[in-house]
Structure formats: structure tokens, C-alpha cells
Structure 1
Amino acid sequence: MANVVIYSTGSCPYCVRARMLLEKKGISFEEFRIDEKPELRPEMERLSGRDSVPQIFIDERRIGGFDDMYELDMDDELDPLLGLS
């Protein structure tokens, strides 16, 4: 299985959707809530080059946000990245 990391907040609807998609696929992930630990925001911005959430990484590869991950799923490219195919 892939190592999945999500930088998120509790109230962001796209963060909720990202978590739901990964949970539906049975993928465990490490989540860093920048609303609870704002000191992690600079790390997220440095790693992703973005300041919005969610920021999703699979095996240290920046995927982007939920829309980017969903597009990979629709193109049948997400499962191989997650080690599901």
C-alpha cells in the first residue's frame, strides 16, 4: 500500500471528500490538520507550493487537492498510485 498524507482542516468540504474517497477505497492515510496545528501550514506550503487545503501526497508525490485526486480516479490512474491494481 502507498503512503498517503493529507494536509487538511476539519471544516473544508474538499478535505471531507478526499477523506471519504480514500476511506471508500480502504486506504489508510496520515492527516495533518492545519486548523489544529497552524505551525504545520508553512511545511505544507513548502512541500506543495500551495496555500489551500487539502494538499494530498501519495508516496511523497504531490497529487494536489481533491479535484486533482478525483480526476486521477476518473482516469483510472489513482488506484495504481495507491497500490490497488
Structure 2
Amino acid sequence: MSQQKEIKIYSTLVCPYCVAAKNFLKSKGLAWTEIRIDTDPVEREKMVAATKRTSVPQIFVGETHVGGYDDMMALHREGKFESLLAD
């Protein structure tokens, strides 16, 4: 079995799409690192610089910016999210 790439989620406490994204990852048995931008303005600036977006969640798999929850689910429906996780 191959090693899963690191998943990072930039999120806030009250974001329903962040919760939905984490629930989806949990249902797949995947681990992730959550970066709370509502409590860390420096990380918020890093997220905006990396993604050119201000909305959350912003999801990364390895170095690849997946986008938000809807973007991740679209990739999943196309069967491309799982292949992104594998090396």
C-alpha cells in the first residue's frame, strides 16, 4: 500500500463546508492537518498567497491545491481525488 500524501485544510470554526470536507475525509479513513485561519492571521495570509482565495475550506493534497469542498467533491465524482492521494 502506498503512503498517503499529506492533506491540509485551511478552515474556520463556524464553516459548514469545512465540516463537510472533514466528514468526507473521515468517511474515507483519511488523515489531515487542519489549519485554523480564524485564530491565526499569519496562516490566513499564507493561504490567500498560495490560493488567491479568501474563502474556506482551502484543501491541499501534497503540493496540489484542490480548492474548496465543491472542488474536492467534483474531483471525487470524476474518480480523480483518490488518484491524487496516491504517489
Give the Cα–Cα distance (whole angstroms) in 2 for the partners of residues 35 and 51 of structure 1: 12
TM-score (norm 2): 0.90
Give the Cα–Cα distance (whole angstroms) in 1 for the partners of residues 41 and 26 of structure 2: 25
Measured after TM superposition, the shift of residue 35 of structure 1 is: 1.1
Q: Which residue does 2:14 correspond to in 1?
A: 11
Q: Structure 1 unaligned runs (5+)?
A: none
Tell me which stretches of 4 or more aligned residues in structure 1 moved more than 3 Å.
none
Alignment pair present for 1:52 and 2:49: no
Count, aligned residues: 83
Identical amino acids, percent of aligned pairs: 43
Q: Structure 2 unaligned runs (5+)?
A: none
Give the Cα–Cα distance (whole angstroms) in 2 for the partners of residues 11 and 61 of structure 1: 25
Moved more, 32-41 or 11-20: 32-41
Measured after TM superposition, the shift of residue 60 of structure 1 is: 1.0
Measured after TM superposition, the shift of residue 54 of structure 1 is: 0.5
Q: Which residue does 2:83 correspond to in 1?
A: 80
